[in-house]
Structure formats: structure tokens, C-alpha cells
Structure 1
């Protein structure tokens, strides 16, 4: 009893008042690094420096940690925006303050920002709606202020540009490219400002952000012409909709009309099936990139063609690209290293062209912008439900290029 009492009163052993926040932050970083299903309570506890059972003093289960971390991220962004707007200034100054505040949060929370993009799908529908509502509120704050700056702008266009600006700012959580925090904030808020102040061409002005989720299911990723292709097609669809860990070999086989035992004739396991999906996506990306570069007449033309090719691929095969971006932590280690190398090579093509066109940019700055453009394509594609018939695809092309080359 004497030892226990001493341990509880020794300053170095006292439980921190922010222990719950520490647990949530450590968990969020692990979720974003390895995926929600790839992280256990004991691993979270080890990062914080406590025992597994001690976590349960603050959270009843792992799901509660994911929900708390997701809420905290959105609340932090909305609070930062509200504090920026609380300062009585002209709309232009308020917008500059708001973009600076959200960019600062995004950079500071870089390791947990992917929660809203990929890990939030593991939340229950009501909680997913809560996260979407928080993001919608943030978009509304930006778009309302934008309409004060640009009163002639149609409200749907203001919403669209606000979503584009937030996508650019949030893109830093999608990669680990090295750059100083202060410079990252400057580059991101400048990119966001460029998007907010751009004039939309008449040809794409009617394509607006409706705020709904993508219409789902549709992708011409792979046309089943064999049992193997059928398995890949259904795996992509299920991985995209439910996440890798929520899908079993039985689920994939059933969707493809093949017994589970028959699946193993083509793939030794689920991870191998995921790797096959990744190599298919990497092959399509490489082919489209090579074709774009081979027909270009100048660096500027090459960059435009590279953007066009990526937008084409994303809109035509959106579920395949979503899986390609979201599930690489679940690949077998050799495949993960190889495919990450291929992803880096693709980004470096964008960087090479961008620094040629804009020599004032350092490679690290061009890399940050390249990732922002790639993220914008996916985010706005989801917002417009990857609709190719209403001008959405053309609009996304325009905004990606406009952000890279103002």
C-alpha cells in the first residue's frame, strides 16, 4: 500500500490530464499509417506508454477511439475557421486568415488528416453522416465568405471552389514528402486562394458540387472475360465499398459466382488478390502516362496531357483508383515496396514538368503541388459522383491545371 500511494503522488508518475487526447492522437496516427483494422489496442497503448487495459479507462473499445479522433479532427478545423472569421475585417482579409488557419491545422495534423478521407468509412452510417456534416459546415463557411468576395459567382460554383480549396489544403495528409511546415502552409494556402479566385470557363460552369457521395458501383475498371477477371472486378468493387479488412475471400467468390475453394486456384490469398488489383492499376497508370508524354509538344503540353490522362483514368475507373490510393498498407511487404516505388515515379513525372514550367519552385514545393492536384482530382471526382456527362470531368481537369500553373 505504501508503494502504491507513493507512485500515485510522485509527479513523474502522475497520470496526465490529457491522457484521453494522447490516446486518440496516437490511435489516429496508427490508423492513418496502417489502417483501422491493422491496429490493436495494445499497439495504441504502447505508443502512449501505458498498458492495454489502461486504454479502457478512457474508451470502451477501438471504435470509440476512431469516432473520437474523427470528431476531434473536424472540430479542430471548424473551430480554427470560426476563430478566423470572428476577427472583424474585410472579406479578403478574413479569407486570407481562414485559409492560413486551416492550412496550419492541416500541416500540424498531417499524420491524422487521412482519417476523414479513408478511415471514416469504418464508422457507422450515422457517424459517417456526422463527419460529412462537419466538413459540409466548413465548406459552407468558406463558400459564404467567397460569395461576399465574389457576389456574381453562382452559389453552387462557390461551393465547388470551396471544396477544391479544402482538398488542396488537406492533401498534405496523403503523402510523406519532406518540406518545411511553414513553407507547406504558404504553398497550400496560395494554391487554395488560386482555386477560390479562378474564373470558371462557361463550358464547365454548370458542373457543380452537390455534396453527395459518389453514385457508387460504376467503373469500367475491368470487364470480366474470365473467372480471374471476374474475381478482380468484384474484389475492386468490394474493397472500395467496404474496405479490405471487411471483405473475405468468400465474399469475393460469392460476388463473382465462384466457390471460395475456386478462388484459390487463381490467388493464394486475399493479399495476393489485392496485389493483383494494384499491379493492374499501376499498369493502367503507367500506360496512360507514357502515352501522354509521348505525344506532347512541350513541357506545358505534357503536363496538361498528364492531368488529362489521370482524370480520364480516375473517372473511368474510380473504384480501382480509390483502392489503389487507400489500401497499400495491406499489401504483402515486397509488393508494397515495389508499388510505392511506382507511385513515386509517377509523381516525379509531374514534379519534373512542373519545375521546368515554373523554375521558381523548388522540387519539394512542386512535389507538394503535384500531390495536391492528384488529391483534388479524386476529391472532386467523388463530389461530382464521377459524372462524365455534365461537364464534371472537364471542370476537374481545368481546376487541377489552374492550381498547378496559375
Structure 2
């Protein structure tokens, strides 16, 4: 008689579902993450998953809680000192290897009451970092402390950039800690106000071109609501263009997104090409590339955010080409950084370069003020993360 093996349900099945969902949300975004694929990753069926969660919103809330639990563990260092906390948090974040920025990118898809509760818990999770910086830098005013908290937290949230490059865990921890420490040690802070809402009172001239007006409206709406929550009618109404005229310029919403993203990449690469051809000094060229990235962030930050956060919504047949362009652009930073800092291996330089770009973009969304002031602050943060000593070697354009 043949014995039939009985497959027992793992006791931590719910936790496995949440971990799988978090990866799907990070990789594909909320709308494109599929319940069936999340279930398949855990080895169960869709109906079995619904025994644990009512739907994708419940799963997203659980995934954000999963992220927050990781932060609570990372910032739960037994030692109260700032350096000890940064080292502990870097080690914990690398060991957990959890998706990050789920809260930041997906909170709009949560029920308001759930969102408010998770926001409060998120802030409490990073409170030990705030307290450690305040204690270590008692002379700093509140806004300056908030700025350092935002920068250090962004570095410590970049662990997957280091683990993705398969760095030695000890070396990765050291590099992350050093980058976060450099941010926390920044002096002469020309602090600008933290943003309380998108936009501001700064005036602007609307483009005359209908195509440009469409792109401008789409970029603003994508940043405010997220790509999936915006329809072509919304874009047309915001641009003052409706009906067939809208589709005369773009075949659909995804075509607009692809145009926004590729234009950002073209602008970034155009500037870095100019930096490479203008000097034979790698330090000066890297400074120019950093200045360019900061300037484009300040002037076209919503479009650049689409490149960094909405690329998951680009059709699969076009996404690969965009990913290659992203990789090629980052490779220029990596090549320059290795020449400026020969102590770094290629994988280490790539992790630091991508972390600097991510930190700049995340902090830009938290600051408001005169473009030059914001740009100068972000440039200094970028140099700190990259480990570039001293002042910038070129004045650049802010």
C-alpha cells in the first residue's frame, strides 16, 4: 500500500504571505501586484489566501506593517549612542533584506483611518534615530535635526541596494554606517523649510505647446495621485485638452509615462556626457554629474520621481530598455566614483551611487524653499553619502 505524504500547513503562513506581498508591491506596484501570484509565491491558491486577508488593501496594510516592524527592530539598538544606533540599524536592515519605501509609495491606496494609524506608528519607529541625533548634536535647531534624520533614514533604508550587489555583509554594513554618519555630521546647515504640502507659491509660465501641456499636467497628476489613479480624462482636463486632440499627441497613458521617463533619462545622460567631455579630472566630472542630478531633481523633481517610482507601470516590452538606460547612467557615476575613491570596488561604488541618487530624490520631496538653497543642501547631502571630502570642486549650476 502506497503511503500518501501529508503536507502540513506552516504555522507562519500568514507571515509568508505578507513577505511575498511586500515583494510584489515593491516590484510591481499596488495595482499590478496580483493576488494569484502572491499566493503562488507561497505555494497556495488565491481562495486560500483570502482566508487570511480580505483583499489587496488588507495585504498592503499588512505589508506596510511588515516594513514598520523592520524599522522598529532596526532602530531598537540597546546602546543609546548615535554611532552605535547607526551600526546596529545598518546591520539589522541588511540582515532583514526587506522591501523599503512601501509606505512612502503606497499610502494613497490605504483607507484614511488605516493610513493615519500607520503614519503614527512609522514616526514612532524612527523616533530613536531622531533622539540619538538630537543628543549627539544638541546645538542644532529642530528643522536641522529633522533634515539629518531624513537623510540618515534614507541611507539606512537603502539596504537592498547593497544586498542586491552581493557585497560582503561586513563591508556593506561599514559603508552604510559611514554614509549615514557623514550625513549626521553635516555642519553649517543652510536649512530650508520642510514641505508640508506639494507645490508652493512659486510662479511659472505654462507651456504653449499642447504636447508639452499634456506632459506637464500628467507629471503633476502622477506625483499627486500616483500613476494608476490618474485617467486620460484627468490629464486632458488639467491640460485644457479633451477628446481626440489628446490622443493625437499620445496613444494612451502609458505612452505619456514612457515619454516622461525617457526624457528624464535623456536629460541626465546629456548632462553627464557634457561633464565627461569638459574635463579630464574625474573628481570635477563627478561633481558636475552630481550637480546636474540635483538641479534636475529641483527643477523637474516630479518627472524624476516618475522615473524612480513609476517605472513598474511601464509596459514590459519597453521597461527593459529603460532599465538599461538607468543602468548605463548609473555606470558613469560608478566609473567616476571608483577613480575618485580607489578604495571602493565596483559593486560598492554602485551601491553608494544609487543610494546617493535615492537619498537626494527622497529628501527633495521633503524640502521647500528657493531652488538654489534646496539644491545646495541636496548637493552637500549627496557628497556626504558618496564619501567625497571637502567642498565641491566646481561651482556647477544651481
Length-normalised TM-score, structure 2: 0.88
Instruction: Spell out, residue by residue over 1:345-374, the C-alpha distance to the aligned partner (whole angstroms, 9 max, x if none).
Output: 111111111110110100111111101110
Map Cα deviations across residues 120-177 of structure 1 (whole Å, 9 max, x no partner): 3322344444444344334431122123223233333222112211111212446884
Question: Is the CA contact 1:351–1:367 (under 8 Å) kept in the aligned structure 2?
Answer: yes
Q: Give the corresponding residue for 2:373.
A: 391
Q: Counterpart in 2 of 1:246? A: 229
C-alpha distance in 2, partners of 1:176/1:343?
19
Q: CA contact under 8 A between 1:221 and 1:319: conserved in structure 2? A: no
Task: Confirm whether residue 104 of structure 1 aligns to residue 91 of structure 2.
Answer: yes
Q: Does residue 303 of the first structure (1) align with residue 286 of the second (2)? A: yes
- Contact 2:70–2:96 (CA under 8 A) maintained in structure 1: no
- The equivalent residue for 1:352 is 335
Aligned partners of 2:238, 2:163: CA distance in 1, in Å?
Answer: 36
Alignment of 1:65-214 (within 5 A): 65-82=59-76, 84=77, 87=78, 89=79, 91=80, 94-110=81-97, 112-173=99-160, 177-180=164-167, 182=169, 183-198=171-186, 200-201=187-188, 205-208=189-192, 210=194, 212-214=195-197
Question: SS at 2:385's partner residue?
Answer: helix
Q: Is the 8 A contact 2:30 2:106 kept in 1?
A: yes
- Residue matched to 1:234: 217
Deviation of 1:56 after TM superposition, in Å, equals 1.2
RMSD of aligned Cα (Å): 2.6
1:40, 1:379 → 2: CA distance?
A: 27
Q: Unmatched 5+ residue regions in structure 1? A: 1-5
Cα 1:137–1:236 change in 2 (3 A) is same
Partner residue of 1:271 out of 250, 254, 257: 254
Q: Does 1:43 align with 2:26?
A: no
8 A Cα contact 1:350 1:370, kept in partner: yes
| 1:265–1:109 Cα change, 3 Å | farther
State the Cα distance separating 1:72 from its structure 2 match. 2.1
TM-score, scaled to structure 1: 0.86
Residue segments in structure 2 that go unaligned for 5+ positions in a row? 390-398
- Residue 74 (structure 1) shift: 1.0
Secondary structure (helix, strand or coil) at the match of 1:383 reads coil
Q: How many residues in Structure 1 have an aligned counterpart in Structure 2?
A: 385
1:329-357 CA-partner distances (Å, limit 9, x unpaired): 22123321111111111111111111101
Q: Give 1:255's aligned residue.
A: 238
Which of 58, 77, 84 matches 2:52?
A: 58
- Aligned partners of 1:276 and 1:222: how far apart in 2? 21
Q: What's 2:396 paired with?
A: none
Aligned to 2:11: 17
